[in-house]
Amino acid sequence: MNLFLGLLLTLFLSACAPKGPGRSVSAVSESAHGRQVARRVASAPVPEAVSDTVEAGVPREVALVHQAIATADAALLSRHVHYPLRMPYPLKDITDQRAMRRDFHLLFDSPFIRTVSQSPLSAWKEMGWRGWMFDSGSLWADEGGLISVNRLSAEGEKALYEAVRRDLSLLHPSLQGGDWTPYTCLITRGEGLVYRVDAHYADGDDEFRLCVYPKGSAANALPVKVLKGKLDVEGTLRTRLFEFTDGEETITFSDDSNEDKPALTLTKGDKQTRKSFRFCYWQDVMR
């Protein structure tokens, strides 16, 4: 399981470079998970106090993120996050304060909380337009709060493993072998075509598979199309572009979930067609 999760997390982390400002948050009640973690690390050193002017030159919001994680305060952290906060697929993204309070334990465990609590604010490094980085990219934040968390706790790794195993078990038997693992899913607006992307991880030669399902298909149904493809990273913004083909048709789209109006392009001969879509969870849209 550890090797599998390592490969899966490596690809996920490469997709999580900060994209800039996130979305608004909403107030909700605190869950028990954050309180339980807080009790486990109650003996950890108290982090530096946050003042309006931080001596280390770190923005106040970044310092508050540091303080919240260092004290395992899920309620405090939930108020200083750019939502949605991406999670490795097929775990659900953290979309609001309630979800952060609920899922805090999937991201942060005692060893990492202790690392943060024992680190000075100067451990955060400014990385230009990307924001501020902690622990070689485990955390990213900016003047608006937490941007991304590129790690999981032991509980989070277990939850990811179980989610992947269940997702694969629902596929048609002919698609379950070959060490494929779920990567993402999207559904076209209007006609409701479902495009499922699976990844096969190999050293330096990752491969991707696109399965296309009509609206209303059963999870264990055979897809109407299966295309193989690749994921390219382009430009200084590291734009991630998928390209799939079966020899007759080529399908391309961006892996950027922050796009306002994402669309995929279908090319067949001289004809090109664009279809708008939204990202989704495969189990949520299949029967």
For the chain, domain boundaries: 55-155, 171-284
pLDDT tens track of the chain, all 287 residues? 555 555 555 555 555 544 433 322 222 223 333 333 333 333 334 445 555 445 579 999 999 999 999 999 999 999 999 999 999 999 999 999 999 999 999 999 999 999 999 999 999 999 999 999 999 999 999 999 999 999 999 999 999 999 999 999 999 999 998 899 999 999 999 999 999 999 998 777 789 999 999 999 999 999 999 999 999 987 766 788 999 999 899 999 998 767 778 999 999 999 999 999 999 999 999 98
Enumerate long-range contacts of 82-87, CB under 8 Å, 24 or more apart. Answer: 82/21, 82/22, 82/23, 82/142, 82/144, 82/145, 82/146, 82/147, 83/22, 83/23, 83/24, 83/25, 84/22, 84/23, 84/257, 85/22, 85/146, 85/148, 85/149, 86/12, 86/15, 86/16, 86/148, 86/257
